[in-house]
Structure 1
Amino acid sequence: MKTIQIDIRRTERINAIIQQRQRFARRIERDKANLEVCKLALVNLKQYQSEFQENGVDATSAKRLREIDFTIINQIDNLLDLLEKLRSRCSRSTINIAVVGYARQGKSRLLQSLTGLSNQVIPDGAEGYCTGTLSKIVHQPRLQKAVAAVNFYSASEFQNQVLAPYYETLGLGKKPITVEEFARTPPPALPLEKKDSEFDKARYGHLRKDYYSNIAKYRHLLNSPTIEVAESEIPQYVTQDAKNQTGDKIVNYLAVKDCVISCSFPYEDIGQISLLDLPGLGDTNLIEAERLIKILSEAADFILFVRRPEANAVWGEAHLKLYQIARNALANFPLSKCSFMILNRTKHGVEGGDNGYRCQKLQAELKETPIRVAKCIIADCSDSQEAFTEVLEPILDYLVENVESIEKEYIRECEQQLDILHQNIGIELDKASSALTRYGDGDLLFEQLFEQFWRKLTNDLEKLLAELKQNRNSLDIEFEERVKNAIQRCRTDVGIPTTTEEIAQRRHLFGSYNTAYNDFLHEIRTNFLEHFLSLDRAMQLSLESRKYLVIKIIKSYLGELVNSHEIEFLQIIYKLLPDSASNLKRGFQKLYEFDVSNAGKIIRLLRLNIDKLKPDNNQFEEATGEFKIEEQILNTLQKLHQEAADTSEQALNQILCEPSTDAYFMVEEFVDRVIRAKNVQLEWRIFLRKESLKVWSEFAQIEDRLQQQKTWRALVERAKEVNGLLT
């Protein structure tokens, strides 16, 4: 094989660039490790944040915790993926040039010319699509015969990467879980909505006719270890058209993941360059289209787009789509700076004849398309010399001059992203630093809780007072019922003799009708008043029911300070209050002591209406007539009792609203003292600060809060520390 001399200095430069990239790969590994540690610190912090939110914190801390944007962890994951691809790129010992193009455009011919390999190793069949799998061709000087390392799919890789995409894209339903299941069960029929698509039918044909029908021929290769084969055996693993001695088609390529071919290129000292041979696009094989994207994003450093201009050639949709696939695959990699367009020129005597004019026309029109490449070259891909002088040499020269700057640009962009991420993490960690600043602060906690206490207490007391004011002239229903019962008892149990005989006996006892009459008046009067003695207590009970309303409100905000729910609650609070809390002490004392029963209000009122039941106010005068004196006395006593009951009922009906009125003024006096008086809020503040542990359970947790705050700060500081490693 004739060898062509190459500028050795250029070769040294290429190898030096590779070594420099490998040094940078180690730096990327360091950045990745630091980023992983930073991610872990943020994940731990996020977990602790979630626990805080689940267990409950004060409103201020909760709001600050929610403001920390932990979606930045997703940004870290994205950058880690990018750095891994960059690390992989920079760690390689070769500069990889991917050759991309549709079938029958001269891609394989160019590879043959550049590598010196035959069309048996790099198939270029005149019919169909010959290349069946990815091949990486590596230059190994002074190697007499090409050899290849063939890598096979594992069973799980084959199921997930080869079969599953067909089932998902073609809508074939449940995917086979194992290769064995696929071998036993043919793929279901193509859905009706897919049967009108020639493209889908062609894909389905690949799955059914190639993968399923031939499963017995290639299944044994799945899970096989890498094998090394001689040059003559390579076609059996890379081409779709290989046949055995009996003429049967060899389908080993269906199980091949990729193939690394080592050979001696027909150029001396070209440096560490390798070529990637991708299956021709335009084939309906779904897997190869997806693999192309993966290869371009992970394995290619430089891309050669190969096209053979046909008659009436234009830059149509298919070629724009091909470029778009590559651009999408490379994402932020500068495709326009790391790709050439090769227009394959054919001469007289070959299929299509001389297309030189069409090549020049497309070359001129390229700038009017969205396709952006570093250079557009016209060359005969089947001519080894021309492939060298017009393609390889310009590529190598361009690599020497530009690869380093391209890599630096790519690296610089990664560094910029790393720097931006570092700053963004810093912003979120600053938020985290202040999120729990006062979480364990007892003074702040007291102020927050006291503010809630004061707002609720004043609101509830004012609402209660407004309700009492609205009803202050209304009948007290319970008191009214007790009054009715007392009147009824009074009218029923009159305490008057039932017969004249009783009156006669009493006269004989005292020897005087007047004395007996007066004695009966005393008995009737005391019996009469006995029925109403409970009404003072009834009125007091009505007032106490209002006191309980006040107690319920205040106790609801004092936690475990006082266990009693009775009236004594007021006295207990009074005793707990410091002497300096004069308004509060007076308010609780007056409410506790407010009492109508001690004044005998009801009896006092009734005595004004029963004077006739007193002997001094109603002397018995014997009347003349047909009635005996005993009957006269009995009638008089009954009449006097009836009059007393009627006047008493009228008097009591006049005071049925008084419990409501008294209750309003009683509570108003209390409210004035405990929330409206001058400096009373300060009195509450001083009192509750002293009793805060009993009033608010949060204060019992203050030690836990301090420990949680300490843990949070440690996590934040750790995250800041590792974030500092990213600079």
Structure 2
Amino acid sequence: MKTIQIDTYRTARINAIIQQRQRFSSRIERDKANLSACKLALLNLSQHQSEFLARGVDATSAQRLGEINFEVINQIDGVLGLLEKLRYRCTRSTINIAVVGYARQGKSLLLQSLTGLNNKVIPDGSEGYCTGTLSKIVHQPGLKSAVAKVHFYSSNEFSLQVLAPYYETLGLATKSITVEEFALTPPPGLPLDKKNSEFDKARYGHLRRDYYSNIAKYRHLLGSPPIEIAEENIPQYVTQDSLDQSGNKIVNYLAVKDCVISCSFPHEDIGQISLLDLPGLGDTNLIEAERLIKILSEEADLILFVRRPEANAVWGEAYLKLYQIARDALSDFPLSKCSFMILNRSKHGAEGGDNGYRCQKLQAELKETPIRVAQCIIADCSNSQEAFAEVLEPILDYLAENVESIESEYGRSCQKQLDALYHNISTELDKASGALAKYGDGDLLFEQLFDRFWRRLTNDLENLLAELKENRDSLDSDFAQQVENAIQQCRTDTGIPATKEEIAERRHLFGSYNSAYNEFLHEIRTNFLGHFLSLDKAMQISLENRKDLVIKILKSYLGELGNAQEIDFLQIIYNLLPDNANNLKMGFQKLYEFDVSHAGRVIRLLRVNIDKLKPDTNSFLLSPAKQFPEEVTSELNIEEQILCTLQKLHQEAADKSETALHRILCEPSADAYFMLEEFVDRVLRAKDVQLEWRIFLRKECYQVWSEFRQIEQRVQQQLIWRTLVERAKEVNGLLVR
């Protein structure tokens, strides 16, 4: 093939741009490193945030920590992916031109014309979709014949990149399938909701007919190292229509990830240019459609859309969809700056001969569609001279003039996202800066803890006081039971002589019935009162139980100060109170000293009811002649009268005592209420008493609150947090330098 001379100055410019782009990669590497360092710093902050919240911090710090949104880390991952794509673009040694089009539109003819390769290497079969895999055609001056390097899928790549999209899209499985599983088990049938879709049925046909039925033929290639092959062997790996010597179809292309073909283009000194040959669109092969998006976004610098206008051609849905796929692949980058539309003129086409008029018609109508390209060119793709003069040379001129601005556009797009990310990170780091500002502040901590202490103590004591007030006129059940037990024991164990003989013996002992009678009164009286001596203690126990309720509340809020036994607790707190805490000291002293047992309250009440059991107030036998009728002359009758009188006096004393005791069954409840009311007034309501609590608790804060025992640890944690925030701010600042 005749070599065509072109503008070497333009070639030098293109090569210089590639070198300049490669130098730009160092900045991208720096940005990636800074962004990765920023991500690590944010991950450390996020981990510490979780630990703080799990461990428990004060409410203010918890709220501020919770407001920090570390979802920004996911944004970093997205920008890192973008930077990696940009880095890959900048480190490439070629400017890549992707040729895209539907089958039988002239895409392969254009590639043949530009590269000098024949239709065996770049198939252009009249039926079906001949190109089976991605081919990258690299210009390497001086080669006599083409050579290729073939890369194969690994088993894992094949499973994830080839099989999984089919199974997921067609709804065949809920999990990834391995190559081994695929080889042993045919794909399940299409779900009911897919069976009416011709497109899904066609995809399913690819999976079952091509990949599954032929797996024994290509499976051995999965995971193989790259191989280098001569020109005559290239069709065996890149086309769908190659046959072996026995006439069987060769399906090696199913295992091929990509193929890099090196050859000497028929145009000298065009610079470091490579052409990307993508499988023809319109095929229902899902994998190649996905591959197209990936290639366009990562590999291509310029895109050539190739179309051969047929009879009655219009810019219909298929071509708008093709453009949309490419635009989606390039995201927010304007496709119009890096794409050309090539209308393939066929002068002797099978359908209507020369289609030049249809080409001109579509060229004129293009501006009325959403498709926007840098230029729309009409050329005969099968003619090498015309393909060069009308397609390649204008494209190279355009690249020489615009590749810098295109690369700058990519850079600006990336920098725009970097700037947005920087501001998002800065916003969250500003929140982080103040999150623990007061966490190690002892004064603030005391105020927060004291406020909680005061609210809870006040609430609990007032609730207890309200409960005692409601029940102050109710009998104390424990005390009532003790009273009933004492009365019953008093009536059972009277101390009265059981028989007249005992009275007679006592008379003989003293020589007088009067003396014996008086002696019995003393014994019965003291025995009577002895049954009730425990009631003062029972009343005090009831009161102590109420004191314990107060002590339980106090101990629950006084930390380690509450470790003292209840019997000592009030006295211990009293001794710890500052001397000038007059209200508190008085309140604790009165509560501690409040006592009823020492006053002999019950016995004092009973003694007024047992006067007749005293000899001085009952002279029953002092004048026998006045007490007994004359006919009573025997000693036996006197003894019966004494026994009867003693029983009557005891019964009367017991009845009066029971009545009196029943009147005081509610007194323990009333005493408890007034005792607590006095205490609450002193420790909660007295003037300046809250200040007295503050002074006392500030002095004892390390004993009362565990948070104060952790204050040093808090300070260290606060320092670590501040260091992490400053580190994150430092590396985040590098993103805008």
Shorter-chain TM band: over 0.9
- Pick which of 588-597 and 286-295 moved more: 286-295
Judged with a 3 Å threshold, the aligned counterparts in structure 2 of structure 1 residues 248 and 652 are, in CA distance, closer, same or farther, namely: closer
Instruction: Give the partner amino acid of 2:160.
Output: N
* Correspondence 1:470 to 2:486: no
- Pick which of 80-89 and 259-268 moved more: 259-268
Instruction: Tell me the equivalent position of 2:580.
Output: 580
- Pick which of 405-414 and 657-666 moved more: 405-414
Deviation at 1:186, TM superposition (A): 4.2
Judged with a 3 Å threshold, the aligned counterparts in structure 2 of structure 1 residues 626 and 163 are, in CA distance, closer, same or farther, namely: same
Question: Is the 1:176–1:182 Cα contact (8 Å) retained in structure 2?
Answer: no
- Pick which of 598-607 and 559-568 moved more: 559-568
Deviation at 1:221, TM superposition (A): 3.3
Alignment of 1:63-462 (within 5 A): 63-173=63-173, 179=179, 182-191=182-191, 193-348=193-348, 350-462=350-462
Instruction: Tell me the equivalent position of 1:28.
Output: 28
Question: Is the 1:146–1:230 Cα contact (8 Å) retained in structure 2?
Answer: yes
**How far apart, in 2, do the equivalents of 1:174 and 1:49 lie?**
35
**How far apart, in 2, do the equivalents of 1:81 and 1:661 lie?**
78
Question: Is the 1:105–1:344 Cα contact (8 Å) retained in structure 2?
Answer: yes
Deviation at 1:626, TM superposition (A): 5.0
**How far apart, in 2, do the equivalents of 1:695 and 1:432 lie?**
30
Judged with a 3 Å threshold, the aligned counterparts in structure 2 of structure 1 residues 533 and 341 are, in CA distance, closer, same or farther, namely: same
Instruction: Tell me the equivalent position of 2:728.
Output: 719
TM-score normalized with structure 1 length: 0.95
- Pick which of 54-63 and 450-459 moved more: 54-63
Instruction: Give the partner amino acid of 2:698.
Output: R
Deviation at 1:447, TM superposition (A): 2.1
Instruction: Give the partner amino acid of 2:266.
Output: P
User: The residue matched to 2:561 in structure 1 has which SS?
Assistant: coil
Question: Is the 2:160–2:176 Cα contact (8 Å) retained in structure 1?
Answer: no
Instruction: Give the partner amino acid of 2:161.
Output: Q
Deviation at 1:31, TM superposition (A): 0.7
Instruction: Give the partner amino acid of 2:690.
Output: Q
**How far apart, in 2, do the equivalents of 1:547 and 1:218 lie?**
89
Deviation at 1:216, TM superposition (A): 4.1
**CA deviation map 1:146-203 (0-9, x unaligned):** 2222222233333332333333333444889654554455444555554444333333
User: The residue matched to 2:566 in structure 1 has which SS?
Assistant: coil
Instruction: Give the partner amino acid of 1:396.
Output: L
**How far apart, in 2, do the equivalents of 1:617 and 1:55 lie?**
77
Question: Is the 2:32–2:83 Cα contact (8 Å) retained in structure 1?
Answer: yes
**CA deviation map 1:215-265 (0-9, x unaligned):** 444344333333333333322222222234443333332222212222222
- Pick which of 365-374 and 469-478 moved more: 365-374
- Pick which of 366-375 and 123-132 moved more: 366-375
Report the RMSD for the aligned CA atoms in angstroms. 2.2
* Correspondence 1:657 to 2:662: no
Question: Is the 2:310–2:351 Cα contact (8 Å) retained in structure 1?
Answer: no
**How far apart, in 1, do the equivalents of 2:246 and 2:354 lie?**
39
**CA deviation map 1:41-99 (0-9, x unaligned):** 21122222222222222222222222221111111100000000011111111111101
**CA deviation map 1:307-335 (0-9, x unaligned):** 11222222222212211211122222221
Judged with a 3 Å threshold, the aligned counterparts in structure 2 of structure 1 residues 234 and 443 are, in CA distance, closer, same or farther, namely: same
Unaligned runs of 5+ in 1: none
- Pick which of 222-231 and 130-139 moved more: 222-231
Question: Is the 2:333–2:413 Cα contact (8 Å) retained in structure 1?
Answer: no
Instruction: Give the partner amino acid of 2:247.
Output: G
Instruction: Give the partner amino acid of 2:249.
Output: K
**How far apart, in 2, do the equivalents of 1:416 and 1:407 lie?**
14
**CA deviation map 1:266-316 (0-9, x unaligned):** 323322221111110111222211211111111111111111122222222
Instruction: Tell me the equivalent position of 2:15.
Output: 15
Aligned mate of 1:624, from 625, 629, 636: 629
Alignment of 1:514-529 (within 5 A): 514-529=514-529
- Pick which of 299-308 and 200-209 moved more: 200-209
- Pick which of 535-544 and 492-501 moved more: 492-501
Judged with a 3 Å threshold, the aligned counterparts in structure 2 of structure 1 residues 349 and 681 are, in CA distance, closer, same or farther, namely: closer
Judged with a 3 Å threshold, the aligned counterparts in structure 2 of structure 1 residues 405 and 618 are, in CA distance, closer, same or farther, namely: same
Judged with a 3 Å threshold, the aligned counterparts in structure 2 of structure 1 residues 641 and 354 are, in CA distance, closer, same or farther, namely: same
Judged with a 3 Å threshold, the aligned counterparts in structure 2 of structure 1 residues 216 and 550 are, in CA distance, closer, same or farther, namely: closer
Question: Is the 1:337–1:406 Cα contact (8 Å) retained in structure 2?
Answer: yes
User: The residue matched to 1:561 in structure 2 has which SS?
Assistant: helix
**How far apart, in 2, do the equivalents of 1:69 and 1:456 lie?**
33
Question: Is the 1:548–1:567 Cα contact (8 Å) retained in structure 2?
Answer: no
Instruction: Give the partner amino acid of 1:226.
Output: P
**How far apart, in 1, do the equivalents of 2:424 and 2:198 lie?**
50
* Correspondence 1:680 to 2:689: yes
Unaligned runs of 5+ in 2: none
User: The residue matched to 1:725 in structure 2 has which SS?
Assistant: helix
Deviation at 1:508, TM superposition (A): 3.2
Instruction: Give the partner amino acid of 2:597.
Output: S
User: The residue matched to 2:98 in structure 1 has which SS?
Assistant: strand
**How far apart, in 1, do the equivalents of 2:374 and 2:679 lie?**
90
* Correspondence 1:666 to 2:666: no
Instruction: Give the partner amino acid of 2:258.
Output: D
Judged with a 3 Å threshold, the aligned counterparts in structure 2 of structure 1 residues 127 and 479 are, in CA distance, closer, same or farther, namely: same
**How far apart, in 2, do the equivalents of 1:174 and 1:564 lie?**
63
Instruction: Give the partner amino acid of 1:281.
Output: L
Judged with a 3 Å threshold, the aligned counterparts in structure 2 of structure 1 residues 637 and 137 are, in CA distance, closer, same or farther, namely: same
**CA deviation map 1:645-681 (0-9, x unaligned):** 1111111111111111111001100111111111111
**How far apart, in 1, do the equivalents of 2:416 and 2:525 lie?**
105
Judged with a 3 Å threshold, the aligned counterparts in structure 2 of structure 1 residues 175 and 642 are, in CA distance, closer, same or farther, namely: closer
- Pick which of 152-161 and 477-486 moved more: 152-161
Instruction: Give the partner amino acid of 1:549.
Output: L
TM-score normalized with structure 2 length: 0.94
User: The residue matched to 1:489 in structure 2 has which SS?
Assistant: helix
Judged with a 3 Å threshold, the aligned counterparts in structure 2 of structure 1 residues 100 and 576 are, in CA distance, closer, same or farther, namely: same
User: The residue matched to 2:346 in structure 1 has which SS?
Assistant: coil
**How far apart, in 1, do the equivalents of 2:492 and 2:384 lie?**
135
- Pick which of 106-115 and 134-143 moved more: 134-143
* Correspondence 1:538 to 2:538: yes
Judged with a 3 Å threshold, the aligned counterparts in structure 2 of structure 1 residues 349 and 585 are, in CA distance, closer, same or farther, namely: closer
Judged with a 3 Å threshold, the aligned counterparts in structure 2 of structure 1 residues 189 and 645 are, in CA distance, closer, same or farther, namely: closer
**CA deviation map 1:604-660 (0-9, x unaligned):** 111122222222222215221655333222222222222211111111111111111
User: The residue matched to 1:393 in structure 2 has which SS?
Assistant: helix
**CA deviation map 1:397-420 (0-9, x unaligned):** 222222211221221121121122
**How far apart, in 1, do the equivalents of 2:22 and 2:105 lie?**
35
Judged with a 3 Å threshold, the aligned counterparts in structure 2 of structure 1 residues 225 and 538 are, in CA distance, closer, same or farther, namely: closer
Instruction: Tell me the equivalent position of 2:40.
Output: 40
